[in-house]
Amino acid sequence: MSYNLLKGKRGIIFGALNEQSIAWKVAERAVEEGAKITLSNTPIAVRMGTVNALAEQLNSEVIAADATSVEDLENVFKRSMEVLGGKIDFVLHSIGMSPNVRKRRTYDDLDYNMLGTTLDISAVSFHKMIQSAKKLDAINENGSILALSYIAAQRTFFGYNDMADAKALLESIARSFGYIYGREKNVRINTISQSPTITTAGQGVKGMDKLYDFANRMSPLGNASADECADYCIVMFSDLTKKVTMQNLYHDGGFSNIGMSLRAMTTYEKGISDEYKDENGKIIYG
């Protein structure tokens, strides 16, 4: 159902790759809510993915760009303003990649060149994006800029590796730039800490399927889906949240405030082997 929350607004969605992508879902919902948008991803992603099909579906233009290139990002904003007919009202940063994760490097054996790449693609690109937009005066007053994060930015999650560092930096950029852009142009900048979501990027994290199941059992409302995340993004792009900025907003079914749930404890107990039980079958807690 559409509520026309974004009627007359213009937006840019970075990172839509395929139908699994949260960015893909956000793009569909934004247009459904009355917005006009452009789409952007890397040249290779545009060639290898199905974003052109999404663009055709939404009557949108795809602007290929390397998100680590200031020149490319400036072109995205300039071309978007030209195509959409004015300044931009909302932007989504849904970009992340770690060569260390892909190469199965552990956190105590990182390749530092790869770490630099992880940070540049997954976090510094957000700063470059915002800085480019600000210098071009490309965002309307009361505009909204969002990036997708994860709770590993603030808690330790085995296997998330240097992406945790990248997400922590991403959230810091939202706070620091949120102050500056808010003070000068009333532009909001926030991050959304989403539940584990089965996407192409997420599948690169070792044990993602187990993490997804664990989080779902822990969360009183269960994991938030990509479609539900898209709904949340739409609200954050809308005029209903004009005074929300510099925040990391948890969208995780309550996972971030749970220590242990009954469902998770029950599953844990079933998995305890006999060596951790006494002669009466009761668990010996360490």
Mean pLDDT by 10 residues, the chain (286 residues): 95 96 98 99 90 97 98 99 99 97 95 99 99 99 98 92 98 99 98 88 67 89 96 99 99 93 79 68 63
Residue tagged 């994860």 (tokens) = 150
Q: Which residues does residue 248 pair with via DSSP β-bridges, in sequence order?
A: 191
Residues involved in catalysis: 150, 160
Give the span between the Cα atoms of 26 and 95, in whole angstroms.
14
**Residues in the chain, total:** 286
And the tokens for 230? 């898209």
Taking CA atoms, 103 is separated from 11, 13, 160, 211, 228, in Å, by: 35, 28, 13, 19, 31
pLDDT at 200: 64
Secondary structure (3-state) at 97? coil
Query: Which residues does the annotation place in the binding site?
Result: 15, 21-22, 95, 167
Does the structural domain 10-276 have CATH classification 3.40.50.720?
yes
Among left, alpha and beta (phi > 0; psi -120 to 50; other), residue 148 is beta
For tokens 């009466």, name the residue. 280
The confidence score (pLDDT) of residue 244 equals 99
Domain regions of the chain by residue span: 10-276
Question: Which residues are paired to 244 by β-bridges?
Answer: none
Q: Give the model's pLDDT for residue 284.
A: 64
Residue 249: per-residue pLDDT: 99
Q: Binding site residues for NAD(+), as ranges?
A: 15, 21-22, 95, 167
